[in-house]
Amino acid sequence: MPYYSLGKESIEIMEGKRILYVTTEMVPYFPENPMSSQALDLPKIMQSNGADVRIFMPRFGAINERRHQLHEVIRLSGMNMIINDLDQPLIIKVASVPGERLQVYFIDNEEYFKRKDVYGENNTLFSDNDERSIFFAKGILETVKKLNWKPDVVHVMGWMSSLVPLYLKNYYADDPFFQDAKVVVSLFDNAFEGELDKELVNKLAFDNVEADVKQYLENPTHLGMIQASLHYADAVAKGEDVIPEDVKNYINQQGIPLLENCSKEQAKEVYNNFYVEGVLNSN
């Protein structure tokens, strides 16, 4: 997809459009990297163009709550997410990004997100990363419904966000609240080694959401998680110039509309056009 120069009319089309950003890393709560930087920059840019944005991420134990002034949102907390037939309490916290008119919602749970390490320890993935991903996906979508904030675009970043499109398009397939939401997947060169728990497909089967993507998740590698996400993508954006070769090959095979990586300076116009022409007006 080429870069476009947009006029005032295209920018006005985004006025009031609702974009839900889902990320696993974000500045200032994580060190700078392509994903954490873009997870802050894109919402800022689209908000400046008139879009209404919400940002969700996990409340990893590595995030210092006092320093970043996180506080629990009592009216949104208190729901239980059933994960593999077990009730897990959902806690929602929120913080304002310093110097910005942006709030970030954090999905929290003592069992899944209290630990200080993010994805694993001693070069080994956490054995429950699959359940953490399920909880994250369900927690976000249930919270958005409770906020009564109906998104036009759901833009996900990071492999732990990969199950959000799956739940959006399956678990909530008959829910008019999400019926018209478009899915964008941003890709980064941050693949993990090894596999998640092979029981992932059975845990998803408990929610009746695995059928369309079972082939990708029977051996849940990084590629499999991304393929499951891309299966429901209306469009894909490269978050950096280099992405895993196997992921790139899959996108080419499936013919999914792809936005090449662009600079922060180009993003204001490029992403406006991308959302308007490549996403909101796609079939």
Q: How many domains does the chain have?
A: 1
User: How high is the pLDDT of residue 67?
Assistant: 95
> Residue 196 domain-assigned?
yes
> Residue 29 domain-assigned?
yes
CATH code (residue 178):
3.40.50.2000
> Residue 143 domain-assigned?
yes
> Residue 146 domain-assigned?
yes
User: How high is the pLDDT of residue 10?
Assistant: 54
Please give the angle made by the CA atoms of 1, 231 and 183, to the nearest 5 degrees.
Answer: 60
Q: What is the residue-wise DSSP string for 184-223?
A: EEEE-S-PPSS---TTHHHHHHTTT--GGGHHHHSS--HH
> Residue 8 domain-assigned?
no
What percent of the chain is helix, strand and coil (3-state, nearest 5)? Answer: 40, 20, 40
User: How high is the pLDDT of residue 117?
Assistant: 94
Domain that holds residue 42: 18-280
> Residue 160 domain-assigned?
yes
User: How far is CA 238 from its chain centroid?
Assistant: 14
User: How high is the pLDDT of residue 5?
Assistant: 43
> Residue 211 domain-assigned?
yes
> Residue 2 domain-assigned?
no
User: How far is CA 209 from its chain centroid?
Assistant: 18
User: How high is the pLDDT of residue 11?
Assistant: 53
16 in Cβ contact with 52 (< 8 Å): yes
pLDDT tens-place values along the chain, 283 residues long:
443 444 445 555 788 899 999 999 999 999 999 999 999 999 999 999 899 999 999 999 999 999 999 999 999 998 999 998 889 999 999 999 999 999 999 999 999 999 999 999 988 999 999 999 999 999 999 999 999 999 999 999 999 999 999 999 999 999 999 999 999 999 998 889 999 999 999 999 999 887 789 999 998 999 999 999 999 999 999 999 988 888 888 888 888 889 999 988 899 889 988 998 889 887 6
